[in-house]
Amino acid sequence: MDYQWYPGHMTKARRMMQENIGLVDLVIELCDARIPLSSRNPDIDALAQNKARILLMTKADMADPARTALFQRYFEEKGFMVIPIDARTRKANEKIRAYVEKACAAKRERDRRRGIIGRPLRAMVVGIPNVGKSTFINSFAGKASAKTGNKPGVTRGKQWIRLNKNLELLDTPGILWPRFEDRQVGVRLALTGAIRQELLEEQELSLELLDYLQKEYPALVTGKYAPAEGDAQWELPMDNAALLSRIAQARNLLRTGGEPDYQRAAKMVLDDFRNGKTGRITLETPPAGGNDRE
Ligand code: G4P
């Protein structure tokens, strides 16, 4: 199995962040609520040192709510202000705005003492590809947003999106590539669609998913894939390949000759998960010992 590394993109993203971090008051980081650990890039902690930090757990609508609550507490204990969101809606906007103000209260107070009043707060939005940065910015900024143009001291061409008189977002989101030197991290990123499909074979990936689901969410697997007419042999856990074969049969995904079509079954299982059709699933649990990569 090959885990492609993206040194070029990574260097560019780091440089972009390093160049701009001094211009912002806070960093709004996005992670995928279904894989909150694997979808965070650990470098950001160093890059965003001394900045106010808000962590938005996107795609919370597809994640297991009980696990999301556990992760929220886990990250809060690490000092983040955390909000689980469905980035496609505007439901959390008020709360996010309130958190932004809270996160930057000390900054506002410093400004006030220096006689600077009404200076908008500036935020940088960062996250790995596909985590929902554009979706979030669109929902959060909405129609009210307007590009404010170049500012003195800011690299030419850089745009700020003015949300209101209090808040501006740097419009180039900081794209951080995930770290997937750990095999499981790579698998989870491929399962959620954060890294390209070809990196891991669909069948192999679907077996990884079924393995996890059988252990952690067996009722969802049965509810989704057990044949309607009942199957005396359907008892989880079973061998993952056998389960894929059963699923293919139950859904009539057969090749000429009646053999199960593993490829189509694998694709269906993956698509169902990615589209949230299998149920609300989270692929990780907060580590007990505080190590982010367990
Ligand atoms: P990016 O800028 O960070 O790369 O991510 P982007 O906003 O493009 O979002 C990637 C996909 O994830 C989009 O789906 C978007 O609708 C979806 N998405 C983002 N946030 C949420 C969320 O909170 N909940 C749900 N359910 N979906 C979310 P897409 O346009 O269909 O793209 P794709 O899935 O085909 O890649």
- In whole angstroms, give the CA distance from residue 194 to residue 200: 12
Q: Which residue from 62, 88, 131, 135 has its CB within 8 A of the most atoms of ligand 1, so it is best to mutate?
A: 135
Residues in contact with ligand 1 (CB, 6 Å cut-off): 58-59, 61-62, 85-88, 127, 129-135, 193
Q: Calculate mean pLDDT across residues 214-221.
A: 98
Q: Calculate mean pLDDT across residues 243-263.
A: 95
pLDDT at residue 153, rounded to an integer: 43
DSSP assigned state of 254: B
User: Residue 106, Cβ neighbours under 10 Å: how many?
Assistant: 11
- Alpha helices per DSSP H over the chain: 7-21, 43-47, 65-77, 93-103, 105-113, 133-141, 183-192, 202-216, 218-225, 240-250, 262-274
Share of the chain above pLDDT 90, in %: 57
- In whole angstroms, give the CA distance from residue 238 to residue 230: 16
pLDDT at residue 146, rounded to an integer: 46
pLDDT greater than 50 at residue 155? no
Integer CA distances (angstroms), 196 to 5, 71, 130, 191, 274, in order: 12, 26, 11, 10, 13
- How far, in Å, from the CA of 63 to the mean position of ligand 1? 14
- How far, in Å, from the CA of 127 to the mean position of ligand 1? 12
Of 41-55, 58-72, 134-148, give the lowest mean pLDDT range: 134-148
pLDDT at residue 197, rounded to an integer: 63
Contact yes or no for 87/130 (Cβ under 8 A): no
Determine which residue's CA is closest to atom 25 belonging to ligand 1.
59
Per the model's pLDDT, the better-predicted residue between 75 and 181 turns out to be 75
Length, in residues, of the chain: 294
Burial class (CB in 10 A: 0-12, 13-18, 19+), 182: middle
- How far, in Å, from the CA of 131 to the mean position of ligand 1? 6
- In whole angstroms, give the CA distance from residue 253 to residue 75: 42
pLDDT greater than 50 at residue 154? no
Q: Residue 60 CA: which ligand 1 atom is closest?
A: 23
pTM of the shown model: 0.90
**80-94, 127-141, 199-213: which has the highest mean pLDDT?**
80-94
